Amino acid sequence: MKTTLTVNAREYDVDNDPRRTLLDTLRDDLGLPGTKKGCDHGQCGACTVLLNGERVNSCLCLTAMHDGDEITTIEGIGSPDKLSALQEAFVKHDGYQCGYCTPGQIMSATAMLKEISDGAPSYVSDDLQTASLSDAEMAERMSGNLCRCSAYPLIREAIAMASE
């Protein structure tokens, strides 16, 4: 039996080993190494992807539970010839140092900007339901994505630029 996933608008039938994480399926089975493995325990955000449009830590998702779901990875955002607005902003603002966390940061920021334009989900407190975020508010919303190089100010500058 197989699990069917739509990843970056392409359909895949993958092994539905009940122990396999979505992160390992993406990287090892589908050859999409842009999604990074950091902690493998839901702590760092390096493995962030969009699952039906919502940001999730793919290391905490079991592939077999996502039959029929739509996944977007960093490979599905922009292209080498045409970067997304966020990717361009990260380049312009040096929103990285070693770059390992960057795919997760960009996927998380992509979802965050969509949350703002669509109306924030209920778990976000009322004082954060604003269209333009302060630096502190953005830091809170991006707190699930760690950067061991501590490039946080540049990452937030890049996101702010892309949201203008």
- Which one, 43 or 132, has the nearer CB to ligand FES? 43
Q: Does 44 bind ligand FES (CB under 6 A)?
A: yes
Structure tokens at 137: 């508010």
Q: Which of 20, 24, 27, 38 binds ligand FES (CB under 6 A)?
A: 38
Q: Which stretch, 44-52, 70-78, 110-118, 156-164, contacts ligand FES (CB under 6 A)?
A: 44-52
Structure tokens at 80: 């080498």
126 φ/ψ sector (left φ>0, alpha ψ -120 to 50, else beta) = alpha
| CB 158 within 8 Å of CB 59 | no
Q: Which stretch, 32-40, 64-72, 87-95, 119-127, contacts ligand FES (CB under 6 A)?
A: 32-40
Q: Which of 43, 117, 125, 143 binds ligand FES (CB under 6 A)?
A: 43
Q: Which of 40, 67, 69, 75 binds ligand FES (CB under 6 A)?
A: 40
Q: What DSSP element (H or E) covers 152?
A: helix 152-163
Q: Which amino acid is at 130?
A: T
Structure tokens at 62: 């079991």
| Residues in touch with ligand FES (CB under 6 A) | 37-40, 42-47, 57, 59
